[in-house]
């Protein structure tokens, strides 16, 4: 019986389900009703070491498999994901709470990374320099790191793992995925589909767990690379501990994304963009728009006037209702955290234009819902501006001028995404050149790069040197080896005591 129908979710190791024996369990909520629906086994140290052993044993044969053969498995996996799209979306939404349309969209974005990974033979091609000296050639290749780990957040339980493992596997690494313990079912199902696609056992393993498992993964000498996506507080620890143990680490972290609306912007387009980007997935996106910045009062007033009827009409509810536009937060804890931020915004003096604290859904009265919320007159000293709220709470800031708006964005600790809405090409060009942010949209509110580009922020939004997927993904999951070769040809250059390539130029 497949794991996701069980009440206690198991690990997926070496191509089959393994019952957790640690005795520790994590709760998985049905967030629409606010009740614990399932539990998940949290791995012990010994179980984590066992999973590492399995992935390490599978590595040599997988690394020696041709890139073309690895790609064929990816092609089959891609088709299986497409065939099982609706099933994957239901698994995801039941635990996360986001709408089915949003869930399907996120799986599709993950599938695009698989499509990119199908071209791995081309992506791994090295460089070659013939005759760098007389009779000497030089060339390079990219080789896999070994066993890699993915530690992923709850908000994109399929897409973020799919940013990682397809690239890692296509490059020839074996992989241990440690998904969020809040909604791991869809990741387990993806691993099953990889097996069905022909992936050898042990190459992709899903280990459920929390800090106890992660602490082992960060230190074990058999682990070569760690990809993390999650909050900044945890990501920084992952980065510092992993690198201190000689691992390559990329940690993509928290965000506070600003949308700058210039006075000449198309306000109908702006309001559509705000609705989707601030309240889609209940604001639980690292690319959500959390702050709208204007440079004149007229624009702020006009946005609020147009936004209010839209927010009032926003349909909140369970994912099972296809008409719903916004679901609940992930857990009662997240719900009270977000409500706490709204309380704090009020006490710090922001103007609460629309209050989502008491919004409820008929039939889901105990669900983890927080309604769409709007604050105006937010200032940069306020906690609701400095912190990532990760909920459906929008702040409007009146910067007073373009340079002040740009400085505001550049001074924020986070640098994940941003957008400018304008009809002025000069303003857009200046903004894209000078803004200190990793992903920038021009009249695009959520500028998530396509799979063949790379995803990653700046400042406290990314620790490490590599963004995810696209060309950066290939660089992260491989290391460069450069070969200088000479074949005996009767040419002798004599002993050389200088630093040339091995002969006469
Ligand atoms: P989180 O940091 O709580 O958890 C992320 C992962 O770390 C999970 O697998 C969790 O089990 C593990 N973890 C949690 N505490 C740990 C600890 N003490 N030691 C070791 N591991 C630990 O994040 P979350 O709440 O699941 O996700 C939301 C966060 O993720 C937000 O901050 C959001 O911005 C961020 N995020 C960032 C991106 C990005 O690309 N920058 C994308 C998605 C989400």
pLDDT in tens, 224-253: 999 999 999 999 999 999 999 999 999 999
What was the pLDDT predicted at 1?
Answer: 42
pLDDT over 70 (residue 4): no
On whether both 199 and 61 belong to a single domain, the answer is yes
Instruction: Decide: helix, strand or coil at residue 433.
Output: helix
With respect to residue 33, please indicate whether it lies within any of the assigned structural domains. no
With respect to residue 6, please indicate whether it lies within any of the assigned structural domains. no
With respect to residue 22, please indicate whether it lies within any of the assigned structural domains. no
- Distance in angstroms (rounded) separating the CA atoms of residues 393 and 221: 43
Q: What percent of the chain has pLDDT over 90?
A: 94
On whether both 63 and 171 belong to a single domain, the answer is yes
What was the pLDDT predicted at 502?
Answer: 62
With respect to residue 32, please indicate whether it lies within any of the assigned structural domains. no
Q: Decide whether any atom of ligand 1 lies within 6 Å of the 402 Cβ.
A: no
What was the pLDDT predicted at 505?
Answer: 61
Q: What residues contact 62, with CB distance under 8 A and at least 6 apart? A: 70, 169, 172, 173, 174, 200, 203
On whether both 296 and 405 belong to a single domain, the answer is yes
On whether both 271 and 244 belong to a single domain, the answer is no
- Distance in angstroms (rounded) separating the CA atoms of residues 456 and 42: 29
What was the pLDDT predicted at 487?
Answer: 87
- Distance in angstroms (rounded) separating the CA atoms of residues 203 and 69: 14
Q: What residues contact 357, with CB distance under 8 A and at least 6 apart? A: 339, 342, 343, 370, 371, 373
Residue 304: which pLDDT band, with cuts at 50, 70 and 90? very high
Which domain CATH number covers 388?
3.40.309.10
On whether both 265 and 410 belong to a single domain, the answer is yes
With respect to residue 324, please indicate whether it lies within any of the assigned structural domains. yes
Q: Decide whether any atom of ligand 1 lies within 6 Å of the 227 Cβ.
A: no
Mean pLDDT value of segment 38-58: 98
What residues does 17 pair with on adjacent strands?
Answer: 12
pLDDT over 90 (residue 286): yes
Residue 504: which pLDDT band, with cuts at 50, 70 and 90? low
What was the pLDDT predicted at 496?
Answer: 78
What was the pLDDT predicted at 62?
Answer: 99
Mean pLDDT value of segment 132-148: 95
On whether both 105 and 92 belong to a single domain, the answer is yes
With respect to residue 37, please indicate whether it lies within any of the assigned structural domains. no
pLDDT over 90 (residue 495): no
pLDDT over 90 (residue 489): no
Centre of ligand 1 to C-alpha 92, Å, is: 17
What was the pLDDT predicted at 498?
Answer: 78
DSSP 372: -
On whether both 247 and 348 belong to a single domain, the answer is no
Which domain CATH number covers 472?
3.40.605.10
Q: Over the stretch 46-55, which tens digit does the pLDDT of each residue have?
A: 999 999 999 9
171 CB-side CA count, 13 A: 29
Q: Over the stretch 88-133, which tens digit does the pLDDT of each residue have?
A: 999 999 999 999 999 999 999 999 999 999 999 999 999 999 999 9
Give the number of other Cβ atoms within 10 Å of residue 97's Cβ: 29
On whether both 413 and 434 belong to a single domain, the answer is yes
Q: CA of 197: how far to CAs of 15, 154, 166, 459, in Å?
A: 12, 25, 12, 39
Choose one of 412, 442, 472: the last residue of a domain.
Answer: 442
The angle at the Cα of 18, spanning 14 to 19, to the nearest 5 degrees, equals 170
Please report where in the chains the tokens 């993509």 appear, as a residue: 252
Determine contact, residues 154/180, Cβ cutoff 8 Å. Answer: yes
What was the pLDDT predicted at 134?
Answer: 87
Q: Which atom of ligand 1 is nearest to the CA of 235?
A: 2
Q: Over the stretch 371-385, which tens digit does the pLDDT of each residue have?
A: 999 999 999 999 999
Rounded to the nearest integer, the mean pLDDT of the chain is 96
What residues does 345 pair with on adjacent strands?
Answer: none
On whether both 234 and 360 belong to a single domain, the answer is no
pTM of the complete model: 0.97
Closest CA to 391 of 316, 459, 299, 441: 316
16 is catalytic: no
On whether both 179 and 241 belong to a single domain, the answer is yes
What was the pLDDT predicted at 503?
Answer: 62
Work out how many domains the chain is built from and give that number. Answer: 2
Mean pLDDT value of segment 70-85: 98
Mean pLDDT value of segment 335-345: 98
Q: Which domain holds residue 348?
A: 257-442
Instruction: Pick the catalytic residue from 171, 286, 364, 368.
Output: 286
On whether both 167 and 301 belong to a single domain, the answer is no
* Phi-psi category of residue 202: left, alpha or beta, with phi > 0 → left and psi -120 to 50 → alpha: left
Q: Decide whether any atom of ligand 1 lies within 6 Å of the 178 Cβ.
A: yes
Q: Decide whether any atom of ligand 1 lies within 6 Å of the 106 Cβ.
A: no
Q: Which of 9, 153, 283 to mutate to test the pocket of ligand 1 (most atoms within 8 A of CB)?
A: 153
Determine contact, residues 341/375, Cβ cutoff 8 Å. Answer: no
With respect to residue 16, please indicate whether it lies within any of the assigned structural domains. no
What was the pLDDT predicted at 6?
Answer: 52
């Amino acid at each position: 019986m497949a794991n996701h129908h069980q009440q206690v979710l198991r690990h997926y190791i070496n191509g089959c389900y393994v019952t957790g024996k640690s005795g520790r369990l994590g709760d998985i909520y049905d967030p629409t009703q606010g009740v614990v629906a399932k539990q998940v086994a949290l791995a012990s140290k010994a179980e984590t070491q066992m999973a590492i052993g399995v992935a390490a044993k599978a590595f040599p044969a997988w690394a020696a498999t041709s890139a073309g053969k690895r790609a064929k498995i990816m092609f089959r996996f891609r088709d299986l994901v497409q065939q099982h799209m609706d099933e994957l979306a239901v698994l995801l939404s039941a635990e996360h709470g986001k709408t089915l349309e949003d869930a399907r969209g996120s799986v599709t974005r993950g599938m695009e990374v698989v499509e990119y990974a199908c071209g791995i033979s081309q992506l791994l091609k090295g460089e070659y320099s013939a005759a760098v000296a007389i009779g000497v050639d030089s060339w390079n290749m990219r080789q896999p790191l070994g066993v890699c780990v993915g530690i992923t957040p709850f908000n994109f339980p399929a897409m973020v793992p799919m940013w990682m493992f397809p690239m890692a596997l296509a490059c020839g690494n074996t992989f241990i995925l440690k998904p969020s313990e809040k909604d791991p079912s869809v990741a387990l199902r993806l691993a099953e589909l990889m097996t069905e696609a022909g992936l050898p056992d042990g190459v992709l393993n899903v280990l459920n767990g929390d800090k106890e498992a992660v602490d082992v993964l960060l230190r074990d000498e058999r682990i070569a690379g760690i990809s993390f996506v999650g909050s900044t507080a945890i990501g920084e620890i992952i980065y510092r501990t992993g690198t201190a143990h000689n691992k390559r680490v990329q940690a993509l972290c928290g965000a506070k994304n600003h949308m700058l609306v210039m006075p000449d912007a198309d306000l109908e387009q702006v309001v559509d963009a705000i609705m989707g980007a601030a309240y889609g997935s209940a604001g639980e996106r690292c690319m959500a728009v959390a702050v709208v910045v204007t440079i004149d009062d007229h624009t702020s007033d006009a946005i609020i006037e147009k936004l209010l009827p839209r927010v009032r009409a926003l349909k909140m509810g369970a994912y099972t209702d296809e008409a719903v536009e916004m679901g609940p937060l992930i857990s009662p804890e997240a719900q009270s955290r977000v409500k706490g931020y709204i309380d704090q915004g009020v006490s710090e003096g922001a103007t609460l234009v629309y209050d989502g604290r008491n919004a409820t859904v008929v039939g889901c009265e105990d669900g983890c819902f927080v309604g769409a919320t709007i604050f105006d007159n937010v200032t940069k000293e306020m906690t609701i501006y400095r912190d990532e709220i990760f909920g459906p709470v929008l702040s409007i800031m009146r910067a007073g001028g373009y340079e002040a708006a740009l400085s505001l964005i550049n001074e924020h600790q986070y640098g994940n995404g941003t957008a400018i809405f304008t009809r002025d090409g000069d303003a857009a060009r200046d903004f894209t050149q000078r803004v200190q942010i990793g992903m920038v949209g021009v009249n695009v509110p959520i500028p998530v790069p396509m799979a063949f580009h790379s995803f990653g922020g700046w400042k406290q939004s990314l620790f490490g040197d590599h963004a995810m997927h696209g060309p950066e993904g290939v660089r992260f999951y491989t290391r460069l080896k450069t070969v200088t070769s000479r074949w005996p040809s009767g040419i002798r250059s004599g002993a050389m005591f200088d630093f040339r390539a091995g002969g006469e130029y």
